[in-house]
Structure 1
Amino acid sequence: MNNHFAGQSFLKEIDFTPAELTYLIDFALHLKALKVQHIPHPYLQGKNIALLFEKTSTRTRSAFTVAANDLGAHPEFLGQNDIQLGRKESVGDTGKVLGSMFDGIEFRGFDQATVETLAQTSGVPVWNGLTDDWHPTQMIADFMTLKAHFGHLAGLTLTYVGDGRNNMANSLLVTSAMLGVNIHIGAPKDLQPADAVVKIAKDYAATSGSDILITADPKQAVAGADALYTDVWVSMGEQVDYGNRIKALLPFQINADLVAGTGKTGTIIMHCLPALHDHQTELGAKLGTQFALPAFEVTDDVFNSEQAVVFEEAANRMPAIKAIMAATLGELFIPDSLFA
């Protein structure tokens, strides 16, 4: 019986060791290959999975649904209007009820405390599909993408530019440090990661050898980057002055000049999506017209360039989530020697 993952929740990256994260990345790559070869892998045959969504979702919901079906499990979507999460019934009580009926629970929402409480009270594995603090399932997909592209992780340099305090910046900073990937965060001073998150990363980097650079200089941030990563400039539910945010982050836009600033020809472009790279969305058109900008965090030419791997990265959400669910809920045999 697997004693590393069995029954464990995945609420933030540091719930697992660097070796365990590496296993999940490699297992996800393996499950992706099995699907391509049409080889069945029903590790969760007959299990029932609750999918709790306070925030809307395209990739996370789709990935959990398809992954559950591929694994032989039955997913049940419970949206914000379907259950009383925290409104008429406490999160703790909800966790106990759902845990008595479901074998695993996914939660995507705002407060990290909500997913932590569900894990404490439900008695079943709980998986964080995104909170305001962390986005751990995205990390398995992102580092899968990096490993598939470069063949290794340790020693790569990943640069994230934009809002350096959001869940993506937190997760990329800590996960890179755990896995020996050099991580640069380029963001204005008031949008740089919190000291507590930086400390977590530095503690891991002391062992892994990862170099950490946090800077308000976009050129310094991107120099030597093997991968450039960005995210939307305003997170879901965040109340800010768009004009001020855009003005602050425009120097960190991933455009042709910033890509050239890496000094490398093989740099890949990453984004967790959705992206405001053109006016083909209501929000992109509205903001683009208001602020006279064709794009925001990434320009359309870069987003659609051969260097961009954003849609491969999006597709990898599914095998990544499949690996996480199978490892924590399936009765897999995983040799202890992998974690020695």
Structure 2
Amino acid sequence: MGSVKQSNTSLQTDHLLTVADLTGDEIMVLIKEALVMKKQVKEGTPHPYLQGKTLGMIFEKSSTRTRVSFEVGMMQLGGHALFLNANDTQLGRGETVSDTAQVLSRYVDGLMIRTFSHEMLEEFADASSVPVINGLTDPHHPTQVLADLLTIYEYKGKLRGLKLCYVGDGNNNMTHSLLQAAALTGMHMAVASPEGYAPHDMIFQQAKDKGEENGAKLAVHDNPIEAIQDADIVVTDVWASMGEENELAERKLRFESFQVNKELTQFAKSDYLFLHCLPAHQGEEVTAEIIDGEHSAVFDEAENRLHAQKALIKLLMGK
């Protein structure tokens, strides 16, 4: 195995709990780092930047892309990923979050948590002496959005000045993290959601304020045609996230006119890019014609979870 020089680049933050923990410049550093390592993977060039290091992964929510991408990413970086089902740890038997965090910090070099409560994640990070990464919480999904930004940059060659339109449930983790990302990178973003499903007021206002500093215009619409006008990127997600399945019947009625289909996307730019974090429910939030069509980059986006997260864990755990 050839030797690999450890990068001197790192992030200011000790943890990644939300996209807002980063700066716009750091997002671009992550994207460029991810592109380098993606090329190394394609060329078969070893890059064991985290040789001998271990990432602990706690899952309270089910996962395909998150688990596989982090496990494979750590292996490609020369380290090891340790899967921990929350029900199989002492957390499931009543041990405090703080105690668990302090104990695991003595064993591993970083922790990734995929859970429901963002407050639990924050409490874990406060007690941890190693980097903690948000693999998903109810209000935030930063690792997915880093992969989205990487995909957009690959296809469009830039982020600043592009218009992203999100269509669907505005009060979910994808919308919130995309708003924070747009604000930091100078992208414009329009959210199209039915009344009662707009983004969280505080998250939206904080993103809007930050966006004004970076030339990003953020807006919320209840008319998807208004929102998608001249969009460079169109994004959607399932209408009912994990834990909201009992609301699906009602949501189908409320979101019926917010489906991403050929009729709606004709108002976007002719070369628009379609993204979806997957899994998708074809025929609900998006038609097969769109997600399987020429504008879709959903499988490149899914692959980029691996490369974006490798850049993240390298810069956090390689300090």
- TM-score, with length taken from structure 1: 0.89
Bigger shift: 6-15 or 21-30?
Answer: 6-15
Match of 1:63 in 2: 69
Structure 2 residue 118 is matched with structure 1 residue 112: yes
Q: What code does the residue aligned with 1:325 have? A: I
SS in 2 for 1:244: helix
Structure 1 residues 260 and 6, CA gap change in structure 2 (3 angstroms): closer
- Give CA-to-partner distance per residue, 1:84-143, whole Å, 9 cap, x none: 326421111110111010110000010011221221112000110000011111111000
Report the number of matched residues. 313
| Alignment partners' CA distance in 1, 2:12 and 2:261 | 44
Once the 2 structures are TM-superposed, how far is the Cα of residue 4 of structure 1 from its aligned partner? 4.4
SS in 2 for 1:51: strand
Q: What code does the residue aligned with 2:23 have? A: T
Contact 1:8 1:125 in 2 (8 A): yes
Q: Which residues in structure 2 correspond to 1:141-156 (within 5 Å)? A: 141-156=147-162
From 300, 305, 316, the counterpart of 2:304:
316
Structure 2 residue 37 is matched with structure 1 residue 49: no
| Alignment partners' CA distance in 1, 2:43 and 2:184 | 32
Match of 1:329 in 2: 317
| Alignment partners' CA distance in 2, 1:86 and 1:184 | 40
Alignment gaps of 5+ in structure 2: 1-6
From 9, 26, 29, the counterpart of 2:15:
9
| Alignment partners' CA distance in 2, 1:203 and 1:64 | 33
| Alignment partners' CA distance in 2, 1:144 and 1:87 | 39
Q: Which residues in structure 2 correspond to 1:194-273 (within 5 Å)? A: 194-238=200-244, 240-262=246-268, 264-273=269-278
Bigger shift: 103-112 or 3-12?
Answer: 3-12
SS in 2 for 1:8: coil
Q: What code does the residue aligned with 2:271 have? A: G
| Alignment partners' CA distance in 2, 1:127 and 1:238 | 24
- TM-score, with length taken from structure 2: 0.95
Structure 1 residues 3 and 312, CA gap change in structure 2 (3 angstroms): closer
SS in 1 for 2:68: helix
SS in 2 for 1:206: helix
Aligned residues with identical type, % of pairs? 41
Q: What code does the residue aligned with 2:61 have? A: K
Runs of 4+ in 1 over 3 A off after TM superposition: 1-4
- Give CA-to-partner distance per residue, 1:261-318, whole Å, 9 cap, x none: 21x21011100000001xxxxxxxxxxxxxxxxx100001111001100000000000
| Alignment partners' CA distance in 1, 2:228 and 2:93 | 44
